[in-house]
Structure 1
Amino acid sequence: MMRRLLLVFALLLMAAPAFAVNPDEVLADPALEARARALSAELRCMVCQNQSIDDSNADLAKDLRLLVRERITDGDSDDQVLNYIVSRYGEFVLLKPRFNIKTVLLWGAPVLLVLAGGLSLLLFARRRAGKPTGSKLTADEQAKLSELLKK
């Protein structure tokens, strides 16, 4: 029974996310460490590109994690830390880009595509509604129909 419990516990641990933060990077103050982890989750690893620096094992990600922690211990606010890193690496470093004039197309493209798709479906349906769907009746079919309607 104990063996099964250990196996289940081991499987649950394997399913948990593995963070790349090394023990030597962790700040002593839990509140500051929580801020650092939250900020690290918002920043993209420039090597891996689809991972946050919190999840990446790349050397650049480690340098960015250390930079975030350094700025936090220096007393910077979360916005100041993000602005500093964006000023050095560009908007691409943010996993969720900010809404500004440079990213309007990025944020607006899905809305424009949905509207264009809806408009094209509407136009297609309106054109199709006006067209007849079958062929005209032959003279024999018309005569039979007239006969049936008279009865």
Structure 2
Amino acid sequence: MRRFLQMSRRLSRLLIILFVLFAPMSAFAVNPDEVLADPALEARARALSAELRCMVCQNQSIDDSNADLARDLRLLVRERITDGDTDEEVLDYIVSRYGEFVLLKPRVSLRTLLLWGAPVLLILAGGVSLIVFARKRAGKPTGSKLTDEEQARLAELLEK
């Protein structure tokens, strides 16, 4: 038990150290030279950057990524915003160049219907199969038939 506690403490310390080291990394993703002068436009750019996937990192938004491609996409988003595009127009432009995969939260469309509907379909299929399986088992007897010796013993016990 004591050994377990020591290992647990060491693991906790290691996780804390790793967290302290890696937590500020995403704060350095947007460089000061990328920031727009207008705070309202910068807020829009940040919100849009949080919705777009870094094509290099793939599990980070371009707002959090330090990759060169993410920087290029952040600059492109800011350029389109300063040109007067709406948020939807900016997203449409990026999607037209990089595909739906660039969106961290894919849109609901005919192409992504299976993606959005698959969890519901799987749950329904599982529920239906459980009901069918339970109904099939309900009609079947469990166990095996008694042997002649067991039947004789049962008759003997019932007569008493």
**TM tier, smaller:** 0.7 to 0.9
TM-score, normalized by length of structure 2? 0.78
C-alpha separation in 1, matches of 2:46 and 2:124: 38
* Counterpart position of 1:21: 30
Tell whether 2:77 aligns with 1:79.
Answer: no
1:139 to 125, 148, 159: 148
1:107 to 99, 110, 116: 116
Unpaired runs of 5+ residues, structure 2, are 1-15
Matched-pair identity in %: 80
C-alpha separation in 2, matches of 1:38 and 1:120: 43
2:61 to 43, 52, 56: 52
* Counterpart position of 2:7: none
* Counterpart position of 2:47: 38
**Residue deviations 1:13-65, cap 9 Å, x none?**
86456231111111122222111111001001112222111111111111110
**C-alpha distance 141-34 of structure 1, shift in aligned 2 (>3 A):** same
Unpaired runs of 5+ residues, structure 1, are 1-7
Query: How many residues align structurally?
Result: 142
Report the residue type matching 2:109 in the other structure: N
Report the residue type matching 1:18 in the other structure: S
C-alpha separation in 1, matches of 2:30 and 2:135: 58
How far the C-alpha of 1:150 sits from its partner, in A, is 4.0
TM-score, normalized by length of structure 1? 0.82
C-alpha separation in 2, matches of 1:92 and 1:139: 69
How far the C-alpha of 1:82 sits from its partner, in A, is 0.7
How far the C-alpha of 1:87 sits from its partner, in A, is 1.5
C-alpha separation in 1, matches of 2:56 and 2:23: 25
How far the C-alpha of 1:140 sits from its partner, in A, is 3.1
Partner SS state of residue 60, structure 2? coil
Report the residue type matching 1:58 in the other structure: A
1:69 to 60, 78, 88: 78
How far the C-alpha of 1:94 sits from its partner, in A, is 0.7
How far the C-alpha of 1:134 sits from its partner, in A, is 0.9
**Most deviating of 118-127 and 62-71:** 118-127
